[in-house]
Structure 1
Amino acid sequence: MIPRPSEVRPSSGTFVLGPDARLSLGEGLGGVAGWLREELVLDLPLGESAAVRLEIDPGLPSEGYALRVAADGISVAGGSAAGVFYGAQTLRQLLPPAALRRAGSWPVPFTDISDSPRFPWRGVMLDVARHFMPVADVLRFVDLAAFHKLNVLHLHLTDDQGWRIEVPGWPRLTSVGAWRPETMLGSRVHGRYDGRPHGGFYTADDLRRIVAYAAERCVTVVPEVDMPGHMQAAIAAYPSLGNGYRGPVRTGWGISTHVLNLSAESLSFCRDVLSFVCEIFPSPLIGIGGDECPADEWADSPVIGREGLAGPAELHGWFTAQMASFLAERGRRVFGWDELLAYGVPAKAVIAAWRGVPPTVLAAQAGVSVVSCPDISCYLDYRQSDDPGEPTPVGTRLTLADVYRFDPVPAGLPGAAAANVLGGQANVWTEHMESARRVDYMTYPRLCAFAETVWSSAARDFADFSARLAAHLPRLDALGVNYRPMTGPRPQDARPDAPGHPRSLPDRLAELHEMTADLRR
């Protein structure tokens, strides 16, 4: 099973789960029962002498569960509905892989399992700004994440290369900002483009559907609208938000210098966007990014004098405080990248630490809640091997074993500080993932390894994981996942038209050291 349960006590014998099975359930478990009926393709009518029993046991950890399979049937108890849901996901893994694709009568081995997660934040970020992903593909992504007991979907909705949500009163965000004239092919060092327009956006109803679907699978959707940088798509739609730029949505990768001008109009725009986001997403955390924001265009900003700031370097922190205050009035908190550590972290904010390991340490020691997602361990757009057949090989090499070695709590972090680490997150940046099949290839099975690092105990045994993964891959086959074969890339996986730019780990570590110098001062 993946992720590995805390305790498994198998015994001899099997229980056959089939079309005649009946169900009993405790209060508040109707949603879990409905989901389970759909996944098992079984009616599971309510009745006495039920073969499947779902119940809440307040004595268990909130997301923990106890699963028992014996001659009299299957019982799943959880500390909450989420705990029951995770127990039911483990039940699905006890069934033969064929049960994941069709109805039937299936043997379930006798066993006693006690389990609960190590971390409350078990996340995966999906970037739908660089390449738009239709709603059905997002829902499938949620299903696969939930199958591996991940519970946060960080949805990266806007960037320089595309704006993916409609906002009332700002129609050009989707008529203009959601579309770019062409897309860069491969790493930016090659300067290649495909010459084809790309775009798309989600309506309010689309977003509500994603949120509701995820909630049914115990996944919280944390939205991110990056600001004040990574805003070229919005500025292409409304040039008055910028600092003189008049041009298209960005077609190349990398960081745009075209940022918000922080005028009263820009602040009003950001508040309108965040107000809409708060209306759609019930998440207590709202992502405002705050990363990679060049201050070049702020040198002569009138806001500096008006607000009594020392210079353009202080504008970022001032802006973040404005947005944090606005969100706090609505009972929400800021979720942002670790650059915010240099500008002043708003009260009760949560930081996503991505620039190597040091930002996690610095945030945790400063008493800031932090989600650990260092690029050298958690960026699933990074190449999986040195095989020349890997599609668009960028970044440092990040193998399955590398991901499995990741621990959200950096070594040597004192216990009091370690308590500030909420968990970990894998990030799926889609510059080089033009389709759901490509996302599958880059994400799995590495996300299987990641799921175990945030659910299971800190102890690691890659040989044991590899043996369980061999049994798990047929489940991914049954679910239609285009995962990377353990033997390496297939001929059809290559992208000769989109060449990459591999990096060495020492070079990247040196670069990260320079990038985080502002945090160490």
Structure 2
Amino acid sequence: MSDSLIPRPRESSPGEGPGLVLTPRTRVHAGAGAAGVLSWLRREVGPATGLPLERGGEADAQIRLSVDPGAGLSPEGYRLVVDAEGASVIGHDAAGVFYGAQTLRQLLPADAYRAAAPAGSEWVLPAVSITDAPRFRWRGAMLDIARHFQPRREIMRFVDLMAMHKLNVLHLHLSDDQGWRVQIRRYPKLTEEGSWRAESQVGAARPPVFDGRPHGGYLTQDDVREIVAHAAERHVTVVPEIDVPGHSLAAIHAYPELGETGRVPVGTQWGIFDEVLAVTDEVLDFYRNVVDELVELFPSPFFHIGGDECPKTQWKESPSAQQRIRDEGLADEHELQNWFVRQLDRHLASRGRRTVGWDEILQGWLWAGDEEAPAPGDGRKGLSAGAVVMSWRGEVGGVAAARAGHDVIMAPTATSYLDYRQSESEEEPVKVGTLLPTEEVYLSEPVPEGLSPQEAEHVLGAQVNVWTEHIDTPRRLDYMVFPRLSAFAEKVWSAGPRDYAEFEPRLRAHLLRLDCAGVEYRPLEGPRPWQTRPGVLGRD
């Protein structure tokens, strides 16, 4: 299986001899810093193979894991060597060892991804020598659990599948118009009242069609701790997102004083709504308190505050918003949004966190080269030096931010939105957005053209976004995400040119692993009959 690895290793060459046969006598050993990876390997591969994989000493173990920062490897990099005598994984750090162990698992037959061993299976690691390291530091996926909630078991399963593909950032979208999904002890009504809605829009028809069925759910703080710990064992950082100052209907429903017009229902339709947060000191204190609870739950150095799709209609008519504009010497409502974002940005910086926001956080001081950008953290309107811009409306926001000296994560809709249609066939379920087949995910380039080498250094990496307006079950999540996530994983891990004709045969072999892992992916030829949604209309 060494010729079907995904993502493609940086360097790989076949070894001599038949490789290593795993038997009930196979012993495993971990050096200092690699014990956690060994526990993961035994827990996953042991039941799949039916082998005990008992611990042994360094001298007599056939599978050996170790951390060696002096081995000449890059951060998160590893070296894997398999011959008839054994298999050795050396990582620059524990993450590198983990990714080497993931590659080792891929070298086994696809049944190594099952929960129990099929009868008569043989387990052979082919002789091979691999040296590998990632191209980007940020290899992420955003999962929206606000539109349709996913419980912790499904989120942890999603983490497992990310880790299988050497992805390392799970961006959790925890609040939106249609639901608030995380417990905040200081403000219990956020989940008591804001975590469920009366019904949900079905598809994207106009006028809208509804299912008449309440939908809800949220993560308790203990759920969050479990998810974060599960992810950390797999070297995945969980980044929370609380979306402000737009997309806040659920929060305003729970605490009407947060909004400009009082109590509103939790959203049941998809789209953008005029209701936004007020810009009072009380609202800012509310969200500072929310942030303070969440940074205790999420140790990630990054915290996402949204900032996207914020209409200005209510602020134009709001006496308090207009007074804020005058008091702060702001030019207009766009600068008011920038001011609001900066208040939370500064609070996060004071808590040792880096703000991440959608590219609208640039509005009010920088956009499409319309004015000279202030240096990070220096200008009256500028964000803190550590703030990160997530470019989703094409590449222009990412280019502008990188040129201003801010770090950037690329997630443009055309190549990164996994809720978008996968073909033009009428059999595709709820076709929305532009066409995004697996090939386009694979071939698109994360680093925008035109950046200087110094500016390109600000591109931390890229991520795909899984918005769930039309993804209401785990089965549908699998269909929309895979195998496009597999293609994305190679794009952000592997350096060098990409050729889809070379990639596709490896992907077809990889689909066998997804089958064994229980992933209900979209076949490359199109949906299976039960994966369609006849009569549910989408949109362009």
Question: Which residue in 2 is equivalent to 1:364?
Answer: 402
Q: Secondary structure at the match of 1:123?
A: strand
Choose from 331, 335, 339 the match for 2:360.
Answer: 339
CA contact (8 A) 1:190 1:499 kept: no
The runs of 5 or more residues in structure 1 that have no matched partner are 503-521
Letter in 2 for 1:18: T
Choose from 443, 448, 457 the match for 1:405.
Answer: 443
State the Cα deviation string for residues 304-343 of structure 1 (Å, max 9, x = none): 2333333323211111111111111111110100111223
Choose from 432, 448, 468 the match for 2:506.
Answer: 468
CA contact (8 A) 1:407 1:458 kept: no
Is the aligned partner of 1:127 residue 2:157?
A: no
CA contact (8 A) 1:184 1:193 kept: yes
Letter in 1 for 2:11: E
Choose from 11, 19, 22 the match for 1:17.
Answer: 22
Question: Which residue in 1 is equivalent to 2:348?
Answer: 327
Query: TM-score, normalized by length of structure 1?
Result: 0.94
State the Cα deviation string for residues 99-142 of structure 1 (Å, max 9, x = none): 21124651110000010011111001000000000110000000
Q: Counterparts of 2:19 and 2:426 in 1: how far apart (Å)? A: 46
Q: Counterparts of 2:510 and 2:54 in 1: how far apart (Å)? A: 26
CA contact (8 A) 2:195 2:218 kept: yes
Is the aligned partner of 1:241 residue 2:258?
A: yes
Question: Which residue in 2 is equivalent to 1:38?
Answer: 43
How many equivalent pairs are there?
A: 502
Shift of 1:497: 4.1
Is the aligned partner of 1:78 residue 2:83?
A: no
CA contact (8 A) 1:51 1:73 kept: yes
Is the aligned partner of 1:7 residue 2:11?
A: yes
For residues 33-432 of structure 1, the aligned pairs below 5 Å read 33-41=38-46, 42-47=52-57, 48-58=59-69, 59-101=72-114, 102-103=116-117, 105-187=122-204, 189-299=206-316, 300=318, 301=321, 302-343=323-364, 344-432=382-470
Q: Counterparts of 2:27 and 2:334 in 1: how far apart (Å)? A: 64
Shift of 1:303: 2.0
Q: CA RMSD in A?
A: 1.3
Q: Counterparts of 1:269 and 1:77 in 2: how far apart (Å)? A: 47
Q: Counterparts of 1:403 and 1:273 in 2: how far apart (Å)? A: 35
Larger CA deviation: 447-456 vs 402-411: 402-411
CA contact (8 A) 2:309 2:360 kept: yes
Q: Counterparts of 2:333 and 2:471 in 1: how far apart (Å)? A: 35
Q: Counterparts of 1:419 and 1:427 in 2: how far apart (Å)? A: 23
Shift of 1:24: 1.9
Question: Which residue in 2 is equivalent to 1:477?
Answer: 515
CA contact (8 A) 1:185 1:497 kept: no
CA contact (8 A) 1:180 1:199 kept: yes
Q: Counterparts of 2:206 and 2:243 in 1: how far apart (Å)? A: 24
CA contact (8 A) 2:419 2:467 kept: yes
Q: Counterparts of 2:407 and 2:330 in 1: how far apart (Å)? A: 28
Q: Counterparts of 1:138 and 1:448 in 2: how far apart (Å)? A: 18
Given the superposition, is the C-alpha separation of residues 19 and 245 from structure 1 closer, same or farther in structure 2, using an over 3 Å criterion?
farther
Q: Secondary structure at the match of 1:226?
A: strand
Q: Counterparts of 2:75 and 2:206 in 1: how far apart (Å)? A: 48
Q: Counterparts of 1:100 and 1:493 in 2: how far apart (Å)? A: 23
CA contact (8 A) 1:189 1:501 kept: no
Q: Counterparts of 1:177 and 1:267 in 2: how far apart (Å)? A: 19
Shift of 1:97: 0.7
State the Cα deviation string for residues 26-62 of structure 1 (Å, max 9, x = none): 1121111111110111443132410100011213112
CA contact (8 A) 1:179 1:249 kept: yes
Shift of 1:188: 5.2
CA contact (8 A) 2:345 2:383 kept: no
Q: Counterparts of 1:180 and 1:402 in 2: how far apart (Å)? A: 36
Larger CA deviation: 479-488 vs 339-348: 339-348
Q: Secondary structure at the match of 1:189?
A: coil
> What percent of counterpart residues are identical?
54
CA contact (8 A) 1:8 1:114 kept: yes
Larger CA deviation: 341-350 vs 30-39: 341-350
CA contact (8 A) 2:356 2:388 kept: yes
Is the aligned partner of 1:496 residue 2:534?
A: yes
Shift of 1:189: 3.3
Letter in 2 for 1:328: A
Letter in 2 for 1:19: P
State the Cα deviation string for residues 74-107 of structure 1 (Å, max 9, x = none): 0000000000000000001000011211246511
Q: Secondary structure at the match of 1:143?
A: helix
Question: Which residue in 2 is equivalent to 1:512?
Answer: none
CA contact (8 A) 1:245 1:258 kept: no
The runs of 5 or more residues in structure 2 that have no matched partner are 47-51, 365-381
Letter in 2 for 1:65: Y
CA contact (8 A) 2:415 2:440 kept: yes
Q: Counterparts of 1:442 and 1:94 in 2: how far apart (Å)? A: 26
Q: Counterparts of 1:258 and 1:283 in 2: how far apart (Å)? A: 30
Shift of 1:458: 3.6
Letter in 2 for 1:70: D
Q: Counterparts of 1:265 and 1:3 in 2: how far apart (Å)? A: 48
Q: Counterparts of 1:474 and 1:124 in 2: how far apart (Å)? A: 22
Given the superposition, is the C-alpha separation of residues 306 and 55 from structure 1 closer, same or farther in structure 2, using an over 3 Å criterion?
same
Letter in 2 for 1:30: A
Q: Counterparts of 1:52 and 1:458 in 2: how far apart (Å)? A: 30
CA contact (8 A) 2:29 2:38 kept: no
